[in-house]
Amino acid sequence: MLEQTIEQLIAAAMDSLKNSYAPYSNYNVAAAVLMDSGNIYTGVNVENASYPNGICAERNAIFSAVAAGERKALAIAIVGGKNGEVTDYCTPCGMCRQTLREFCNPADMIVVSARSQDDYRWMTLEELLPESFGPEDLLNY
C-alpha cells in the first residue's frame, strides 16, 4: 500500500513540475501532498522579482489543501531540478518543514524525495525536523 501511494504522489508531483515558475533561479520544484481524506494536492514553486515574495512548492501544496478544508497531511512527494530536469533528490527547506509540521504527526508523516518514479528515498518529518515545535507546545500558554 505504501509503495503504491508513494508512486501516486511522485506521479502527481512530476506532472505538476511543468507548471513551476522559476525564471530567476531556473530551479523548478513540484510537490504533491496526501491528506487523511485521501485527496492529493499539488503545488509548485513560484518565484517573484521581489525574491521574498516567492513560495516553495511544498508550502504551496499544503496551503492548497488547507484552502480546501483539509487539516491533516500523511505524506508528501517532492521533485525538482535545474531547468525542470530532475537529476537529484530535492528535500524541503526549513520553512517548509515547519509548515508541514503544523498539519501532521511528524512521527508518521512521510517525506519522499524523488529523482524518478522508481528512484526515491523517504523518511519521516520527525527525522527531518527532530525535536520540532508544534501546536501542542502552545497548549499551556
With a threshold of 0.85, does the pTM exceed it?
A: yes
Q: Which amino acid is at 52?
A: P
Q: Give the model's pLDDT for residue 2.
A: 79
**From CA 137, how far away is CA 33, in angstroms rounded?**
24
Q: Give the model's pLDDT for residue 1.
A: 55
CATH class given for the domain over 2-138: alpha beta
46-92: per-residue pLDDT in tens? 999 999 999 999 999 999 999 999 999 999 999 999 999 999 999 99
Q: Give the model's pLDDT for residue 39.
A: 97
* Across 18-32, average pLDDT: 98
Q: Give the model's pLDDT for residue 4.
A: 85
Query: How many Cα atoms sit within 13 Å of 89 on the Cβ side?
Result: 11
Rg (CA), the chain: 14
Give domain limits for the chain.
Answer: 2-138
3, 7, 47, 58: which is the annotated catalytic residue? 58
SS3 assignment for 123-138: EEHHHHCCCCCCHHHH
Residue 58 annotated among the catalytic residues of the structure? yes
pLDDT band at 3 (very low <50, low <70, confident <90, very high): confident
Q: Which amino acid is at 128?
A: L
**Helices 57-67 & 94-102 angle (0-180, nearest 10):** 20
